[in-house]
Amino acid sequence: MSIIPTKTAADPYAALSWTASVVAILLEKIGLAATLDGARQRELNLNLTPDREECNALSALSEEMSLLSEASKLSGRDLFMANASPLRSELRESFSTLVAIERDFYPPADRPNFEKTGKELEVIRDHIESGDLGSLQPEILADAQQACLELLEHLDNHRPSLSVH
């Protein structure tokens, strides 16, 4: 920190964007594993087995989606009621991320469905853990992939900010 305002290098969404990127690539890997046979994979020198960093990122993003979903259900009116409890610490950061993203969403029906994506990521994680990716429904994979890329787009294009205008 500095005594007076200064330009800093920190991007508040850097960690989330990295996690979402790792997951987007993992999902791409899973999709390819389902479409390319072993011989073709060897020919292209592709290792399509999920690694530990990718699995950790999948769990982290799934949790983040649940928090964003929880934050999106909070009512602004209730939050300003006299007896409103403070935001839980793990929810506070996600609430800010959500507010920054939602600034650019209208109508509200177009908002991302974080709850659905969180659940889809959980299903994918369960399939990886059980070593049964073959029975994963392609729609779930496609939806989750799309949601990851959309989240990355919002974090990039809109460069969410809470600066005072």
Partner 1 sequence: MPSPWQVECLLIRMDSLRNEILRVKNKDRPYTETDIVYDSLVAVIKSRHDMVTKAQKLYAAKGTLIPQSVFNHRAKDLETIFKFFSYTDRVDSPRIPFEVLRSLSWVANDLFGEKCYAVVRLEPEYNYAILSCRREFERNGWGQYWQYAPEEDTRASGSSDRKAAPNVLLLGFPSPDAGSTLVHALAAHEFGHEFAHKWNDDLTEVREQVVSEVKSFYNTVLQDYTSGIFRRQEGESQDDVSEKARKYLLALIESISSSWLKEIFSDLAAARLVGPAFLAAFDRIIIGHGKGSEKYPPASLRRSLVRRYLEKLLPQVISDPTWAQLFDNSALVDLPSDELFRVMQQVFDGVIDKLIPILNRIPSPLTRLKANELSDLLETMEEHIDNLAPPSVPLSVGDKLPDTEKFWLLVFVAWHYRLSDRFDELRRLCGDDTDSARAEEILGNLLLHSLQSLELRARWHEAMNQKRSNVH
Q: Which residues bind partner 1 (CB under 8 A)?
A: 1-6, 9-12, 14-19, 21-22, 24-25, 28-29, 31-32, 35-36, 44-46, 74-77, 79-80, 82, 84, 86-87, 89, 92, 95-96, 98-100, 102-103, 106-108, 149, 152-153, 155-157, 162-165
CB of 8 to partner 1, least distance (A): 8
CB of 22 to partner 1, least distance (A): 7
CB of 110 to partner 1, least distance (A): 9
Which is closer to partner 1, CB of 92 or CB of 132?
92
Q: How far apart are CA 159 and CA 157, in angstroms?
A: 6
Q: Per the structure block, which two tokens stand in for 50?
A: 């999920």
CB of 147 to partner 1, least distance (A): 12
DSSP letter (8 states) at residue 135: G
DSSP string, 42-111: HHTT---S--HHHHHHHHHHHHHHHHHHHHHT--HHHHTSTTPPPPPHHHHHHHHHHHHHHTT--SGGGS
